[in-house]
Amino acid sequence: MHKNDTRRSFNVTELTRVEGEGALDVIVEGDEIIELKFRIFESPRFFEALLRGRRFDEVTDITARICGICPVAYQTSSANAIEDALGIQVGEPIRDLRRMLYFGEWIESHGLHVYLLHAPDFLGYHGGVELAQDSPDLVKRGLRLKRVGNRLMEVIGGREIHPINPRVGGFWKAIAKRDLDEMVPDLEWALEAALATVDWVSGFSYPDLEPDYEFVALHDPDEYAIIGGRIRSNRGIDIPVHEWGDVFEEDHIEWSNALVARIKGRGSYHVGPLARFNLNFEQLHPLARASAERHGLTPPVLNPFKTIMVRSVEMVHAAATCLDLIGRYESLGAPYAEAPLRESVGYGASEAPRGLLYHRYALDEEGLVTDAQIVPPTSQNQLQIEADLRQLLSGILDLDDDTIQHQLEQSIRNYDPCISCATHFLTLNLERR
Amino acid sequence: MAKPSLAVWKFASCDGCQLSLLDLEDELLAVADGIDIAHFPEATTAHRGGPYDVSLVEGSITTPADLTRIQEIRAQSGMLVAIGACATTGGIQALRNLADIDEFVRVVYARPAYIQTLATSTAIADHVKVDLELAGCPINKYQLLEVVQALLVGRKPTLPTYSVCVECKERGTSCVMVADGVACLGPITRAGCGAICPAFARGCYGCFGPSESPNVDSLAAWWDELGVARPDLVRALRTFNVNAPQFKEASTRYAQE
Amino acid sequence: MLDFAALPTVDPMLPRPFRVVRVLRETSDVTTLTFEPADGLATIAFGPAQMGMVGLPGLGEVPISFSSDPADPSQLAMTIRRAGAITSALVDLSAGDSVSMRGPYGTEWPMEAAEGHHLLIVAGGLGLAPLRSAIVTALRRADRYRSISLVYGRREVSEVVFADDLAAWEANPAMSMHLTLDRADPDWSGPIGLVTSRMDAALLDPASTTAMVCGPDVMMHAVGADLTQRGVARGKIWLTMERNMKCGVGLCGHCQFGPLFICKDGPVLNWATAGPFYLIAEV
Amino acid sequence: MKRAILAPTDLDNLIAVLSERGFEVLGPTLDSGVVTLSSIDSTADLPEGIRDEMSPGRYYIKATSDGELFGYAVGPTSLKPTLFPSRRQVWTTENTDQGIIFRSSVPDLRPVAVIGARPCDAAAMAVQDEALLGGPYIDTDYARRRRDLFLVVVNCTRPASTCFCASMGTGPAVSEGFDIALTELKLDTRHFFVAESGSERGQEVLDQLGLDPADPDDEELVRVALEVAADSMERTLDPVDAYSVLRAQPEHPYWETIVERCLTCANCTMVCPTCFCVTTEPVTSLGDESAGEERRWDSCFSLDYSFMGGSPVRETVESRYRQWLTHKLSTWFDQFGTSGCVGCGRCITWCPVGIDLTEEVRHLREQIDA
Ligand SMILES: Cc1cc2nc3c(=O)[nH]c(=O)nc-3n(C[C@H](O)[C@H](O)[C@H](O)COP(=O)(O)OP(=O)(O)OC[C@H]3O[C@@H](n4cnc5c(N)ncnc54)[C@H](O)[C@@H]3O)c2cc1C
Ligand code: SF4
Ligand code: SF4
Ligand code: SF4
């Protein structure tokens, strides 16, 4: 009956179960989508501007505040960029500690998303708290997983939100081996719980949708890239991080307070767990790979709804890898590396829970920031989200409005968009007005 | 007795403070048992209209639309609790208050005309009556829990206003300023975080804002002796609570010296 | 070396459960609660002006004077004014509710030392609460005092507490009553002025007077100075004082007033001891 | 009391004997750049060759190769955190059929032996004993910890520049309150301790170690070392004069000068080994209906401390500083018959802006005299 309505509109005025504030406007005429706008109306906070004039060693503390859900990602990408600018080399133990801290954030963030934000979509609940009324043990498992991630961030980073221990060059304080050893029982439990999570979410029923994505993620031949690597795609991109600007560009669209990124001359692309999984499957921890294969989850996985499975597999990877890393950890000698100041530009990237996070800083000879650029995952995915929505919508236009609305929202949640960070992008060309 | 209803609202912020509620993994289900979570878009699509017994408000006021929305929220809320540095002092984004906002917009956005923003980032209490403030960037989740628990039994929540030094000594951390000559804002910063920075061998950088009676000038004089350059001191005061009156007043004076 | 075996074993911070048995709403903000023990043990026996730490578990505890007749511990009562969260919750209690209670603590009115003297009782507002126990005790043996006078000052007519008692005392030939209101009010036909303005009438023979005073700090300061000037010996002017108290037994430090701990050296102190510190700002 | 000679290896035996007797043994260790008290297993955990230098607001560690085990003066950690923890649960409620019941929270505690407390620490403990155990109402938790404490004091031969125990009559040699007192002597050829017992228990333990008696020459060495230490102290405070100066001058304009420097951060009260002020805080838990009370260190520098009738009694900085100093050095005598200060100098070192109470008293005295 809707079919013949001439004009329909769906307004999801306030997106829920995503971090930050976004909205979606769609106008359809007959079978034609006239307008589809994924709006981010999160208030701009002007991080790139306020970073100017700050000293290099304040940047990790400040950029953490861009996002309360993935502060470690911001701290890691910005530390990478500034270390690149100053020519600081960090040793293996510091890298290991960084990875463990970051895995803590993955477990926390994925645990939150899988159990409290995303799974309720598949099971027909408003949210995790509602789900807990019927399945308390399930939700408790999710909360405990999340807590293990948070605990890891607390032990290594000092606290779970905006950790205070990371800094340019490493950490303020070396973590004692015994403090990490105390995490082992928790992580062993988390590993089991993550494996059980993979089994659980594999039983969900997934809508058919297999868009033709260009996946972009960091790649490291020796590990499932998280704190660094080269930028790769399934369509041939393979560049060092500092060439990001040669291949990608940012644009400012009218309906959004976020800048959107695209591949020059090609358009939208997809970053996040799905991209990582498809590009770096070989580097997954054997236990994680096995758990995916057990459920027939092997690259290429194109169905965006299946990111919930991939997130669960990544939790297996995170817990298993942390156990390995703790096994070989020896307390750091010097907790951080230093280098003399110089006028320079540095580039850094890492894999935030939601995907590639790119930073670039220019420093003057006193170590003050003269220019900053931050490109978070959600802005890189924004065009792709709109593309997904168009594709999904054209196939379900004969459903009733409520169902359409729900499916559109769910499709956005596949990306776990963290909108609060999506509003801090800086165009590469500062001259554009 | 009906469960008190809770709504969570967001203005300009990083979401970290409201995430603290979900980070109460061990207590979340008990909290949800004791209170009716009526509006919390980050956690649930369910939404019940106001009025609400308690509103937690995160973030600072930065856009023309915020100005009206905060009034509406105030009108529907019994008790309004501002959570975090953004909501209590304007947050790091209040650095714009010291700068030219047009330039800020131009630096970040290609098409400044698309951006609607106020020239300042201000605390919730600058616009409406706030019943309780939780300091911190981010807030301490146990303080948030304390607020919920106190609310449920009708007592005044125990929220320290003394300095970070007290927590530092309570946990037995040795003073980084005295023992290592590291500049620390602890003596003028409000307790609440558990003095984690000194425990991790660094000075406090003031994310809980000014303590109840901060003597900024005395600490500044001591930082001089430790060899901290005045511009570095000014920036230290101008970070997550740049718009807190005591930090603002002192840093403005030092910047003009 | 300390003899640990000889030390007391009781934890003074551990309260006992008491139950509210009667509630008398004196004014919209003041309630007199009568308590009985809920643990089957003997009730608290107290002397005039002694206080207890009363509280609600999970809310906290506050110092409050016992206001009932010390001779009848079965009627153990406190008269409480709504100040903040804890007192508000106490004021709103109903019969049957339970509270936590510790005590009795502190010094008493020197009822015996005052025998043979004119007894001058000066109360400001709710300061009448800890004086009520002194008045009923004195009236029971009125013949031992040369006279008993009450000077009672209030800010507003509606502030009256112990209305029944006041009426009874008014009718009691052993009592001489001097009521006053701080400011003029159409509902009040009696004298207007601070309590000190009633001293001409109430103070009979300064040389043989013992005064007992309770009220706000400023009022006690004024009365102490005034009575001294009129010739009452400093050591015969007694006050009962308030300070922040967390333990009530000298272990928390909060109630210090110069060298004095209000909880154990007081709350009843004489002007000779406390007076000098009254003169120091923010002591 | 007969004295004995204790070789460094005997010290390991002492640690072993004490742990066999069921004590958790605490001793000085170098941790995060300061000498503090923590669990030790052997002399290897002690801060060998470590010196500490202090001045108002500064503390430095220096490593030497002289092998002295107790060559430092005094770290930030007194006995206070061990005997009088910074935070503890006081009681909890339980709801029963008969109604509500209040239960003391009595933690399971292992008796503690401390090796290497300083004479000023022992003196401070005596001061706290008087405040917390001297009256009709006592702190039962403190009493229990205190009763179970085995105290090995090591006399001071290298006081810091901030120390002034000699003038307070509390050091550099311990006079009472200990189980065993040691004096470390490191000569060119010999490294040993002269030991003395202060209690029956202490003597029993010494006997168990099977030590040689000290000869008069060694005793003389100890006497001289301690005398030299006493004479070397740079700071002094006359407790009797301080008592009267502070008592007489509560409203001297001098107090206002403190406002420029005092941070009201409360560090001095937290590190002071005698400060005993606490506050109580209600606790409730979600879920079960239980409630309780927690106690934690409080400070006369906080505004809540003197809160009454809607506002703090001591609002200004000078009134709060005056309360601290006057209580410590003057009214403490009125209350407990002794000074509240034992001259350990911690409040001088650990004040983040280096306010020195001995100087403040001296200035006040000078101003009055002028
Ligand atoms: C010896 C003594 C006897 C008292 N007798 C009575 C009485 O008979 N009737 C009566 O109504 N009140 C009496 N009070 C005052 C009563 O203790 C305070 O009104 C009460 O503590 C306020 O607590 P609150 O939490 O409701 O108020 P808030 O204003 O919220 O106070 C917060 C906290 O500050 C402290 N505090 C605030 N005001 C006072 C105060 N005046 N005295 C001590 N501590 C305070 C308490 O710790 C209190 O919990 C007496 C006080 C003392 C010291
Ligand atoms: S480290 Fe900082 S917070 Fe801690 S006591 Fe020292 S000055 Fe205070
Ligand atoms: S010590 Fe200071 S900067 Fe560090 S977390 Fe606490 S308040 Fe924030
Ligand atoms: S007042 Fe200062 S010097 Fe005296 S005992 Fe306390 S901390 Fe030590």
Please give the pLDDT value at position A178.
Answer: 93
Please give the pLDDT value at position B23.
Answer: 93
CA distance A168 to chain B (A): 13
8 A C-beta contact, residue A247 and residue A422: no
Ligand 1 atom nearest C60 alpha carbon: 49
Q: Which of D278, D224, D335 has the alpha carbon at shortest distance from D90?
A: D278
Mean pLDDT of chain A: 88
Across the range A167-188, mean pLDDT stands at 96
Which amino acid makes up residue A300? P
CA distance C89 to chain B (A): 8
Residues C203 and C126 in one domain: yes
Please give the pLDDT value at position A4.
Answer: 41
Of all residues in chain A, what percent carry a pLDDT higher than 70? 89
Residues C143 and C232 in one domain: yes
Q: What CATH number corresponds to the domain at position C170?
A: 3.40.50.80
Is there a domain that residue C278 lies in?
Answer: no
Across the range C162-191, mean pLDDT stands at 90
Q: What angle do CA A198, A201, A203 make, to 5 degrees?
A: 110
Across the range B123-146, mean pLDDT stands at 97
Q: Which of C34, C95, C41 has the alpha carbon at shortest distance from C69?
A: C34
Name the range with the highest mean pLDDT among A250-259, C190-199, D179-188. Answer: D179-188
Chain D 18-77, residues with CB within 8 Å of chain B CB atoms = 31-34, 36, 57-61, 76-77
Query: What pTM did the predictor assign?
Result: 0.93
Tokens 């308390």 appear where? A136
pLDDT in tens, C103-151: 999 999 999 999 999 999 999 999 999 999 999 999 999 999 999 999 9
User: Over 50: is that where the pLDDT of C248 sits?
Assistant: yes
Higher pLDDT: A164 or A412? It is A164
Please give the pLDDT value at position B212.
Answer: 97
> Could you give the residue range(s) of every CATH 3.40.50.700 domain in chain B?
5-153
Q: How many structural domains compose chain A?
A: 1
Distance B180 CA to ligand 2 centre (A): 11
Among the partner-chain residues C38, C60, C250, the one whose CB lies closest to the CB of D137 is: C250
Q: Around D276, how many Cα atoms within 13 Å sit in the side-chain half-sphere?
A: 27
Q: Do D266 and B221 touch (CB under 8 A)?
A: no
Is there a domain that residue A368 lies in?
Answer: no
Of A45-54, A388-397, D183-192, give the lowest mean pLDDT range. A388-397
Distance D177 CA to ligand 1 centre (A): 39
User: Is the bond leading into C267 cis (omega within 30 degrees of zero)?
Assistant: yes
Distance D358 CA to ligand 4 centre (A): 10
User: Over 70: is that where the pLDDT of B113 sits?
Assistant: no
Is B156 part of the contact surface with chain C (CB cutoff 8 Å)? yes
CATH number of B5-153: 3.40.50.700
CA distance C237 to chain B (A): 38
User: Over 90: is that where the pLDDT of B17 sits?
Assistant: yes
Strands A166-167 and A355-363: unpaired
User: Over 80: is that where the pLDDT of A21 sits?
Assistant: no
Please give the pLDDT value at position A426.
Answer: 22
Across the range D345-354, mean pLDDT stands at 97
**Candidates D74, D342, D349, D360: which one to mutate for ligand 4, based on the most atoms within 8 Å of Cβ?**
D342
Please give the pLDDT value at position A420.
Answer: 43
Residues C161 and C203 in one domain: yes
B200 — pLDDT class (breaks 50, 70, 90): very high
Q: Of C43, C74, C105, which residue sits at a domain end?
A: C105
B52 lines ligand 3 (CB under 6 A): no
Across the range C234-255, mean pLDDT stands at 96
Query: Residue A299's domain spans which residues?
Result: 55-345
User: Over 70: is that where the pLDDT of B85 sits?
Assistant: yes
A14 — pLDDT class (breaks 50, 70, 90): low
Across the range C31-53, mean pLDDT stands at 96
CA distance C59 to chain B (A): 5
Query: Residue C228's domain spans which residues?
Result: 118-241
Mean pLDDT of chain C: 94
Please give the pLDDT value at position A149.
Answer: 98
Residues C134 and C80 in one domain: no
What DSSP state is assigned to residue A114? I
Could you report the predicted ipTM of this complex, rounded to two decimals? 0.93
B196 lines ligand 2 (CB under 6 A): no
D332 — pLDDT class (breaks 50, 70, 90): very high
Q: What CATH number corresponds to the domain at position C73?
A: 2.40.30.10
Of B107-116, C54-63, C190-199, give the lowest mean pLDDT range. B107-116
Of B76-85, B196-205, C214-223, give the lowest mean pLDDT range. C214-223
Residues C189 and C144 in one domain: yes
pLDDT in tens, D147-174: 999 999 999 999 999 999 999 999 999 9
User: Over 70: is that where the pLDDT of D135 sits?
Assistant: yes
Q: What CATH number corresponds to the domain at position A269?
A: 1.10.645.10
Q: Which of D366, D347, D360, D368 has the alpha carbon at shortest distance from D78?
A: D347
Is there a domain that residue C137 lies in?
Answer: yes
User: Over 80: is that where the pLDDT of A13 sits?
Assistant: no
Please give the pLDDT value at position C157.
Answer: 83
Of B15-29, C45-59, D344-358, give the lowest mean pLDDT range. B15-29
A144 — pLDDT class (breaks 50, 70, 90): very high
pLDDT in tens, D42-69: 999 999 999 999 999 999 999 999 999 9
**Candidates B143, B182, B207: which one to mutate for ligand 3, based on the most atoms within 8 Å of Cβ?**
B207
Across the range C197-201, mean pLDDT stands at 89
User: Over 60: is that where the pLDDT of A423 sits?
Assistant: no
pLDDT in tens, D80-109: 999 999 999 999 999 888 889 999 999 999
Please give the pLDDT value at position A41.
Answer: 65
Mean pLDDT of chain D: 95
E-strand stretches of A78-126:
none
A421 — pLDDT class (breaks 50, 70, 90): very low
pLDDT in tens, A212-238: 899 999 999 999 999 999 999 999 999
pLDDT in tens, D268-300: 999 999 999 999 999 988 766 789 999 999 999
Of A182-186, A396-400, B207-211, D310-314, give the lowest mean pLDDT range. A396-400
Distance C80 CA to ligand 1 centre (A): 9
C2 — pLDDT class (breaks 50, 70, 90): confident
Is there a domain that residue C44 lies in?
Answer: yes
A431 — pLDDT class (breaks 50, 70, 90): very low
Those chains having 3 or more beta-carbon pairs within 8 angstroms of chain A are B
